[in-house]
């Protein structure tokens, strides 16, 4: 056990990424609903800050779901291509640079989310900038795949199964803790 704890490397950033991702989902959805509400109700901040006020508004629900679909496509489509390029780069070049690129995209996207939360009256479509930045840097697909690649390439053969199990455990544990804390953070 002590030997394995000394081998921890990429499991920690992957755990933190998964924790942050699961904390992000409910906050992101609330941000979408609030921005859609502000569009529909002509920037009525008092009404739109109260979730129960627009919770049953089917127009806002439909607009938010439509936007969430567009957001998912904006993230996913470029990340498929970028992940293939990053995978090729790990085979022919270096493992460290392709490993860092998705995290840079995640940080840049998060900075935009913070700006969009602060400037709440801007269009909901400015949130797509975050998805595009993260997607162009590989998105969540690249984070998981480059982390697994790094774990395999940097471990001795007899420790690879431990490393892969650690990476999978970091994904599960980060998601579980993030999901458990997301309700508290959302409030």
Count the residues in the chain.
187
* CA 117 to the chain's CA centroid: 16
- Find out whether 133 and 113 touch, Cβ atoms under 8 Å: no
CA proximity to 21, closest of 123, 130, 96: 130
Domain layout of the chain by residue ranges: 11-186
Q: Which CATH class is domain 11-186?
A: mainly alpha
pLDDT value, residue 5? 62
Write the pLDDT tens digit of every residue in 66-86.
999 999 999 999 999 999 998
Q: Whole-number mean pLDDT of the chain?
A: 85
pTM over 0.75: yes
CA proximity to 83, closest of 57, 62, 105, 64: 105
Write the pLDDT tens digit of every residue in 93-148.
878 888 889 999 999 999 998 898 888 888 899 999 999 999 999 998 998 888 88
Q: Report helix angle 11-40 to 160-186, nearest 10.
A: 30
């Amino acid at each position: 056990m002590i030997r394995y704890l000394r081998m921890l490397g990429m499991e920690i950033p992957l755990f933190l990424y998964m924790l942050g991702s699961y904390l992000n989902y409910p906050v992101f959805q609330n941000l979408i609903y609030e921005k859609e509400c502000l569009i529909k109700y002509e920037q009525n901040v008092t009404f739109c800050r109260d979730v129960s006020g627009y919770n049953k508004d089917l127009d806002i629900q439909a607009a938010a779901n439509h936007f969430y679909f567009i957001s998912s496509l904006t993230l996913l489509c470029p990340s498929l291509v970028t992940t293939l390029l990053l995978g090729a780069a790990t085979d022919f070049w270096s493992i460290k640079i392709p490993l860092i690129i998705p995290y840079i995209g995640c940080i840049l996207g998060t900075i935009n989310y913070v700006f969009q939360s602060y400037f709440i009256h801007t269009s909901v479509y400015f949130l797509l900038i975050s998805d595009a930045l993260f997607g162009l840097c590989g998105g969540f697909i690249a984070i998981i795949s480059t982390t697994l690649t790094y774990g395999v390439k940097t471990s001795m053969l007899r420790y690879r199964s431990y490393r892969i199990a650690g990476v999978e455990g970091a994904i599960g544990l980060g998601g579980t803790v993030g999901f458990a804390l997301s309700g508290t953070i959302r409030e």
